[in-house]
Amino acid sequence: MTAEIIDGKAFAAEVRDKVAGHVARLKEEHGITPGLAVVLVGEDPASQVYVRSKGKQTVDVGMNSYEHKLDVETSQADLLALIEQLNHDPAVHGILVQLPLPRHLDEDLVINAIDPAKDVDGFHISNVGLLGTGQKSMVPCTPLGCLMMLRHHHGSLLGMNAVVVGRSNIVGKPMAQLLLGDSCTVTIAHSRTKDLAAVVRRADIVVAAVGRPEMVPGDWIKPGATVIDVGINRVDAPEKGAGKTRLVGDVDFAGCAEVAGAITPVPGGVGPMTIACLLANTVTACCRANG
């Protein structure tokens, strides 16, 4: 079997088009322009790339983008003061603090200082609790993007066996909650799971979010299963020339594509959907703020 490729890039473009339409209507009918503030502390190169991309796409769909680039030495008090200011700024409907933060800053404290209604990442403890109890919340963007692709591909996920490999607060845990919300039978597996291969082989849906390059081989995949690869890992690619690198996911794409029914590629799968969902969450936050 050769898997169908789930084209996250194309799907994300559709989501962005819908967001842009919504933004245009908000402007025309209500005179409101949604605004997203992104806070970056320090100069982590990968974070800089993400933040630039978020800013560009925010503007491309017609929203206002407010970028706050802070020195790596920024104190916790100064960062909290900025968040407080953004919490009270009526032009800002969504706030995202790019993670990871430098080590001297307390990530939990910073995230929980964001007004939950503006927490477009869905990381605030209130939103985590709301999601866990099936109430209306801001939903973390990466798992939301994965869920949208799964629903688009399958229609209903009811009764499917889903295995999430990875237990992070950003992806693994909220992904499991969302799949449970769609009536999957959910297993969260991780680096300490015994016989991970056997656990993954039971899955109709595999979501790999461990951050280890090509960790899931094809022979762990049940024939016909759907594989969602959240990993974005840069590895050496000597075949492309000295010093060259390439991006790979957490699954062995070629091996898994031989067995799976459908699979997301890296790049071009989950990644583009994450930012599209961030834009959608910002519009949602704006609509909720304005009744």
Tokens matching residue 51: 């933040």
Q: How far is the CB of 268 from ligand GUN (least distance, A)?
A: 17
Of 101 and 283, the one with the shorter C-beta distance to ligand GUN is 101
Rounded to whole angstroms, the Cα distance separating 63 from 91 reads 11
Annotated binding site: 166-168, 232
Of 44 and 89, the one with the shorter C-beta distance to ligand GUN is 44
Site residues (vs ligand GUN, CB under 6 A): 96-99, 121, 141-142, 170
Of 97 and 276, the one with the shorter C-beta distance to ligand GUN is 97
Q: How far is the CB of 92 from ligand GUN (least distance, A)?
A: 15
Q: How far is the CB of 195 from ligand GUN (least distance, A)?
A: 30
Of 47 and 185, the one with the shorter C-beta distance to ligand GUN is 47
CB 115 within 8 A of CB 122: no
Q: How far is the CB of 138 from ligand GUN (least distance, A)?
A: 12
Tokens matching residue 217: 């081989």
CB closest to ligand GUN, residue no: 99
105-108: long-range pairs with CB below 8 Å, 24+ = 105/41, 105/74, 105/76, 105/79, 106/76
CB 19 within 8 A of CB 61: yes
CB 228 within 8 A of CB 248: no
CA distances from 132 to 126, 165, 184, 245, 248 (A): 10, 19, 15, 39, 31
Residue 244 bears catalytic tag: no
Tokens matching residue 29: 């009918």
DSSP reduced 3-state for 108: helix
Q: How far is the CB of 234 from ligand GUN (least distance, A)?
A: 14
Annotated binding site for NADP(+): 166-168, 232
Q: Which of 121, 229, 250, 252 is catalytic?
A: 121
Residue 85 bears catalytic tag: no
Rounded to whole angstroms, the Cα distance separating 129 from 157 reads 23
Residue 121 bears catalytic tag: yes
Rounded to whole angstroms, the Cα distance separating 197 from 263 reads 18
Q: Which of 57, 98, 118, 173 is catalytic?
A: 98
Of 123 and 220, the one with the shorter C-beta distance to ligand GUN is 123
Which residues does the annotation mark as catalytic? Answer: 54, 98, 121
